[in-house]
Amino acid sequence: MRYLWVSALTPLAVSPAADRLATARSTGTIDRVHLEVVAHRGASAHRAEHTLAAYELAIADGADGLECDVRLTKDGHLVCVHDRLLDRTSDGTGPVSARTLDELAELDFASWSGAEPEIGVLSLDALLALLADHDRPVRLFVETKHPIRYGGQVERELVRLLGRYGKASPLSLDTAGVVVMSFSSAAMRRVKRLAPAVPTVLLTAGPPRKLPPWADILGPGIRKLRADPGFVARAAARGRPTYCWTVNEPEDVRLCAELGVRYLATDSPSTTRSLLAGPGSTTVAKPK
């Protein structure tokens, strides 16, 4: 197996990307690409995360994509919950993985945030059904969490469910209705083995040391991009678009647009949309 290396040591002041951007700006030669606004856990700045209300608002606010985290229940269903434990985002306690879907259907997943109660966990099945019913194409970015007690079962169940919705064998990255993400490289390798055409994002909080062939898109956090803005251009030079999370500050939205980030995960798609509005609207510089 051959690995491609992504150097993480290029500081802002000497970033080739910044240099190229400055030159391209002055000569007017910047290519533009579409930037997709992805609602992180739904419009989670305005509604309880991972609830139907949060996703419906994100769609109404014009999000191009939705992000969700998935975990397996005790009886093998995929549900949209970020934490291993139920305690923070519901009136239940203990691990998600120790409860059945029916048990999770009894819990309130919204009151914790000060919102009206929303009873019942959001299943991935229900979220896919919401998107299937919608008249505008909205891409879903599904993050599998690891390590977990069920190991690779989460990716196997995910690919099976995507197959049921006709999302397991898209013709291209641009037409893919679902993208799968994880901080676990092994998990992304599994997805590529099970469903080679489904695009993958390898998430990374720090400098990614290896670029494995099963990572179609690279997913640095915004702190990483602030410290190393040349990352986007280097990833592009390796044929990898960038997905950046979680981008809420106006100057970070502008930085991502300038660098040519392709997918931007934000808690407030409405605010991000308005920050990006104007000439060129949702297009950003294409990294060279």
Residues of this chain that interact with ligand G3P (CB under 6 A) are 40, 67, 69, 82, 143, 203, 245-246, 265
Q: CB–CB of 169/177 below 8 Å?
A: no
Closer CB to Ca ion, 49 or 228, in the complex: 49
Closest residue to ligand G3P, Cβ-based? 245
**Would you give the distance in Å from CA 125 to the centre of its chain?**
18
Minimum separation from the CB atom of position 50 to ligand G3P (A): 11
Burial (CB count within 10 angstroms: exposed 0-12, middle 13-18, buried 19+), residue 210: exposed
Residues found near Ca ion in the complex (CB under 5 A):
69, 143
Minimum separation from the CB atom of position 221 to Ca ion (A): 11
Q: Can you tell me the distance from the alpha carbon of 184 to that of 221, in angstroms, rounded to the nearest whole number?
A: 15
Closest C-alpha to 66, from 150, 155, 163, 132: 132
Residue 153 φ then ψ, to 5°: -60, -30
Which residues are tagged catalytic? 40, 82
Q: Can you tell me the distance from the alpha carbon of 44 to that of 57, in angstroms, rounded to the nearest whole number?
A: 9
Closer CB to ligand G3P, 143 or 216, in the complex: 143
Closer CB to Ca ion, 69 or 155, in the complex: 69
Minimum separation from the CB atom of position 54 to Ca ion (A): 13
Closer CB to ligand G3P, 36 or 69, in the complex: 69
Minimum separation from the CB atom of position 67 to Ca ion (A): 6
In sequence order, what are the residues at sequence separation of 6 or more whose Cβ sits closer than 8 angstroms to the Cβ of residue 131?
A: 66, 138, 140, 177
Closer CB to Ca ion, 71 or 99, in the complex: 71
Residue 131 contact partner, candidates Ca ion, ligand G3P, none, CB within 5 to 8 A by sort of partner: none
Minimum separation from the CB atom of position 143 to Ca ion (A): 4
Q: CB–CB of 167/194 below 8 Å?
A: no
Minimum separation from the CB atom of position 279 to ligand G3P (A): 28
Residue 142 contact partner, candidates Ca ion, ligand G3P, none, CB within 5 to 8 A by sort of partner: none
Residue 109 contact partner, candidates ligand G3P, Ca ion, none, CB within 5 to 8 A by sort of partner: none
Residue 245 contact partner, candidates Ca ion, ligand G3P, none, CB within 5 to 8 A by sort of partner: ligand G3P
Distances (CA, A) of 86 to 47, 66, 103, 128, 175: 18, 22, 12, 22, 34
Closer CB to Ca ion, 181 or 285, in the complex: 181
Residue 118 contact partner, candidates ligand G3P, Ca ion, none, CB within 5 to 8 A by sort of partner: none
